[in-house]
Amino acid sequence: MKIALRVLLGYFLIVALAALLLVNVFVQQVKPGVRQAMEDTLADTANVLAELASDDLLAGRIADGRFATRVRAMTGRELDADIWGQAKRRASYRVTITDARGIVVFDSAGKEVGRDNSRWNDVYRTLRGQYGARSTRDDPDDEASTVMYVAAPIRDAGGRIAGVLTVSKPNRSIQPFIERSQTTILRWGWVLLGSALLVGGLAAWWLSRQLAALRRYADAVARGERASLPDAAGEFADLGRALESMRRQLEGKQYVERYVHALTHELKSPLAAIRGAAELLEGPLPEADRARFVASIDAQGRRMAAMVDRLLALAALEHRQGLDAPLPLDLAALAGDALDDAAPRAQARGVQVDLQVDDALPAVEGDAFLLRQLLGNLIDNAIDFSPAGGVVEVRLQAQPDGLRIEVADRGPGLPDFALERVFERFYSLPRPDGSARGNGLGLNFVAEIAKLHRGTVSLGNREGGGAIAVVVLPPA
């Protein structure tokens, strides 16, 4: 699991648990809180009404006295109230009065007169001088039918309890307020959770983006590709600069070894030509041959000097994304020059080199010297692996994504284990004629040049036997 996903999941789990705990606490406290407030109001109401009912109860006219008349009139009163968006048309209070034995002597609803309520907590505890209250279901099977009862004592002139007045109110009457509060809390809880998830997602995305950019940079450096340090912020920028500093120090050490090997590899051919010409010059030669060999030595010396300069330039360019000043090139002419350079070597090995050029080749831009080196290395490699009497085919083709260069031979081809490694530095295969294998820098040099020109290179086996190298260069 990616670190950004782990951070997001951890962050979301913490926020979700906190939000659920907070919402649960609020939701769980809404109903008790509202009922506690209602009970407080009922307690005040019961005590006020108990004082108002005392005269009628003590005089024995509680059933038809002024108190009873006014309480019964209350049930028909039109309230026409709007309480926080909830309409209220009728009073929901019910008033019952029992005597000192707990027998109901007045009921504003007219249902329980004569019933013994002495066992109910509101009456039972009040008759004993305690606070009396209860919550009971009207319908035993309906949890929402609960009614809250709060009682107050009615005392005589001597302070003795002469009866109990109970005020009751259905809990259903306050349910809309409870539901509205719970809905509001849950709605804002989800908003809080969604906002936290959004913030966490953005933070995880930013973290993942920073880490992914640094990882791609590190992977590109590990593969030897050209990569620029990605933009980053904070500690990620510090980490990026540390990686860049480490890359430069490591590459600074590797460049020396790499380019010494590359330079040695590329200088072998002109040195061999100079050595051969020098040996011939030691003996008697016609003046025309002597002049030709001297000219060849001069040309090869110039070629080596140019090669050293270009390799130094390549070392500098390897830190960049491309060539400094690419120029329009005639690839057909470059391929012809590369074939001319390879002709003596091909003739010595009994190998023929054929060049095929399609009409209307797309224009490409690049460095003429480096592309000529690319062609020369591929042709030399094909000559080395071609059997005597074989043919090396060089073909330049136009295709939709640019220009395609093919160099093919009819040698033994590539073994399967070497297909993925042929472009590795210092990796080489034995020559078919038993001669010493190369130092493994030629194809690596080709790959570097192709990358500098934003192209691709591949080497594989061809039908009928042999190997084929393919370079694709983008159009100008």
Per residue in 184-205, pLDDT (tens digit) is 777 877 787 777 777 777 777 7
Q: Which residues contact 29 (CB under 8 A, 6 or more apart)?
A: none
CA distances from 2 to 8, 211, 216, 263, 368 (A): 10, 10, 15, 44, 46
* Cα(303)–Cα(273) distance, integer angstroms: 11
The sign of the torsion formed by the CA atoms of 80, 81, 82, 87 equals negative
Q: What CATH number did the domain enclosing 446 receive?
A: 3.30.565.10
Q: Is residue 307 part of a domain?
A: yes
∠166-168-169 over CA atoms, to 5°? 165
Q: Indicate the residue among 180, 205, 237 that finishes a domain.
A: 180
Q: Is residue 26 part of a domain?
A: no
Answer yes or no: do 57 and 169 share one domain. Answer: yes
The sign of the torsion formed by the CA atoms of 199, 204, 205, 207 equals positive
pLDDT in tens, 290-319: 787 778 787 777 767 766 665 564 455 455
Which whole number is the average pLDDT over 110-123?
A: 91
Answer yes or no: do 159 and 247 share one domain. Answer: no
CA distances from 314 to 74, 186, 264, 367, 369 (A): 103, 66, 15, 10, 11
Asked whether residue 247 carries a pLDDT value surpassing 70, the answer given is: no
DSSP alpha helices (H): ranges in 356-429? 368-385
Which run of H or of E encompasses 81? strand 81-83
* Cα(27)–Cα(19) distance, integer angstroms: 12
Q: Indicate the residue among 321, 338, 353 that finishes a domain.
A: 321
Q: What CATH number did the domain enclosing 241 receive?
A: 1.10.287.130
Answer yes or no: do 107 and 149 share one domain. Answer: yes
The domain in which residue 51 lies consists of: 36-180
The structural domain count of the chain equals 3
Answer yes or no: do 311 and 336 share one domain. Answer: no
* Cα(454)–Cα(365) distance, integer angstroms: 10
Which whole number is the average pLDDT over 121-142?
A: 89
Q: Is residue 286 part of a domain?
A: yes
Asked whether residue 31 carries a pLDDT value surpassing 80, the answer given is: no
Q: Tell me, what's the pLDDT at 362?
A: 84
Which residue is it, tokens 């009970």? 39
* Cα(19)–Cα(48) distance, integer angstroms: 43
Q: Tell me, what's the pLDDT at 46?
A: 93
Output the pTM of the full model.
0.41
